[in-house]
A and B are shown apart, each in its own frame.
Chain A
Amino acid sequence: MNFQGYRRPSGSVGVRNHTLILPTVICASETASRIAARVKGTVTFTHQHGCAQIGQDMERTFKTLAGIGCNPNVAATLIIGLGCETIGAEKILKVIEREGKPTEMLNIQDEHGTRRTMKKGVAIAKRMAKAAIKMKREPCAVSELVVGLECGGSDVTSGIAANPALGVASDMIIREGGTTILSETTELIGAEHMIAKRASTQRVGERIYEIVKRMEQKIKAMGVDFVGGQPSPGNIKGGLTTIEEKSLGCIYKAGTAQITEVLEYGEKPSEKGLVIMDTPGHDVESITGMIAGGAQLITFTTGQGTPVGSAIAPVVKITGNPRTYRTMRENIDVNAGTIIEGKETIEQVGRRIFNEIIRVASGKQTKAESLGYREFAINRIGPTL
């Protein structure tokens, strides 16, 4: 099966055609936002990192920022740096350039401040956006798709309606030769034995136990119960009592496929099929990691409802809660509440989700896109210096 996508010079396929203004560091975020606000067809995000970081933590932020520029939804990137930060614009430029896409940079200090950076930045961005408009969608195979699986604001309907239906869609993508990413390691705690059984090799199975243990140890080092953090107060209000219960409901969104690989945060899959990425249960950090790893589209199940989106990738919102669909329809793309109401089967809704993925991949705007949502957060693993 095909969808209509943008073929990039490296051969990868985008479902959007963004000109990205990428700030390397918090100190360049405001300038990047002001440039993006002046040029139609550009996207940007703000973040609070890029400096006063060391070691693996710095490495993770660097790879995430570079990965966002490499994402096939990005046609061209203008990097805005300050000039004195740890993660310099040149380093990020070198990685993104390898994709063969137009990539340029400006450092605010080299340009002697705001005015000249803005003037030059707007001119470069306009040129990039003008070139991007000329690019045309073409038929591309579903096997080119990397789809992130996310859930947030979960309630009991997530585990019995929305996630099982998304699991059906995930299996359909994989049958077409595509890739889906199961994320949120915290929400494997108590369900890892079920997931590890589906590992393609013994090593993949061991890696699943490893990442869960690592996450559990990190949380337990805080010396307090998970409750209130996981499950969240909203989860508990919705009827979820323990992390085990939440996790067992979460894994349904990964369908029934074999797990072919376990990725670090922001890492690009080297295998097709169902892969796992080690991300936290924090929705925006998790989504950002998957997009940095090359996911062109995110599917997001929610019980209580959430407006969250991304500047880079469309986020398809699915709710299993009929009440949430009624009250937050402006934020929800697919109603899976029909399962709870007994009007549709899990299979039927799963096929609807798959069809919606194809339509959105071919250009249909999601609710989060039309409302202009662009949340972005990088997962940190070290102290701020």
Chain B
Amino acid sequence: MRSTRKALVLHNRDNVATALSDIEAGTLVRVKVGGQAIELIVNQAIPFGHKFAIKNIEEGQSVYKYGEVIGRAIEPIKVGQHVHTHNLESIRGKAGQQRWEAES
């Protein structure tokens, strides 16, 4: 483990990486996927602990972390984009009914 690493991919099936420090928009980041290093430009600011795409993800496609499904994309996500509640939703945590609009 090197202390200089900026992000971590937990499994070679994953299509997202986790930021291990605050990453500024436009940063070139190198991550290891299954022993192989890949480089990509993170094109949005990613706060520590948040995720960004390391592969293009289609709308409706599963998002993988730990090699397991953590939800599905609700819009197309490009490599280097922030992946969070705005473009990823839970499959198991849905009510199956209308969303409760707490803010309205």
Residues of A within 8 A of B (CB): 155-157, 159-160, 189-191, 194, 216, 220, 222-228, 230, 236, 238-239, 241-245, 248-249, 303, 321, 323, 339-343, 345
Contacts of B90 in A (CB 8 A): 190, 225-227, 241-244
Max count, chain A CB within 10 A of own CB: residue among B49, B88, B96: B49
Contacts of B102 in A (CB 8 A): 228
Q: How far is the CA of A238 from the CA of B95 in the complex (A)?
A: 23
Q: Are A156 and B91 in contact (CB under 8 A)?
A: no
- Mask, B30-70, CB within 8 Å of A = 1, is 00000000000000000111110000000000000110111
Q: Which residue of A lies closest to B19 (CB)?
A: A239
Contact of A216 among B51, B92, B97, B99 (CB under 8 A): B92
Nearest Cβ on chain A to B49's Cβ, whole angstroms: 3
Q: Tell me if A241 and B49 are in contact (CB < 8 A).
A: no
- Chain A binding surface SS class: loop
Interface string of B73-86 (1 = CB under 8 A from A): 00000000001110
Task: Let me know if A224 and B49 touch, CB within 8 A.
Answer: no
In whole Å, how far is B102's beta carbon from the nearest beta carbon of chain A?
Answer: 7
CB-based contact B51/A241 at 8 Å:
yes
The interface residues of chain B lying within 8 Å CB-to-CB of A223 are 95, 97, 100
**Is A227 within 8 A of B68, CB to CB?**
no
Q: Which of B48, B66, B85 contacts A236 (CB 8 A)?
A: B85
Task: Give Cα distance in the complex from A55 to B44, angstroms.
Answer: 54
Decide: A190 and B96 in contact? CB cutoff 8 A.
no
A228 contacts which chain B residues (CB < 8 A)? 102
Please count how many residues in chain B sit with their CB below 8 Å of the partner chain's CB atoms.
37
Which residues of chain A are near B5, meaning CB under 8 Å? 342
Shortest CB distance A337–B (Å): 11
A157 cross-chain contacts in B, Cβ below 8 A = 49
Task: Determine the residue in chain B with the shortest Cβ distance to A342.
Answer: B3
Q: A160-B10, A226-B93, A241-B85 known; A248 and B51 CB under 8 Å? A: no
Query: B50 contacts which chain A residues (CB < 8 A)?
Result: 156, 239
Whether the pair B1, A345 counts as a contact (CB closer than 8 A) is yes
**When the two chains form their complex, are residues B47 and A194 in contact, meaning their CB atoms are under 8 A apart?**
no
Residue of A nearest to B8 (CB): A160
Measured CB to CB, the closest approach of chain A to B68, in angstroms, equals 5
Shortest B98–chain A CB gap in Å is: 8
CB distance from A264 to the nearest CB of B (A): 23
Judge whether B8 and A248 touch: CB under 8 Å: no
B20 with A191: CB separation less than 8 A: no
Which of the residues B4, B65, B94 comes within 8 Å of A245, measured between beta carbons?
B65
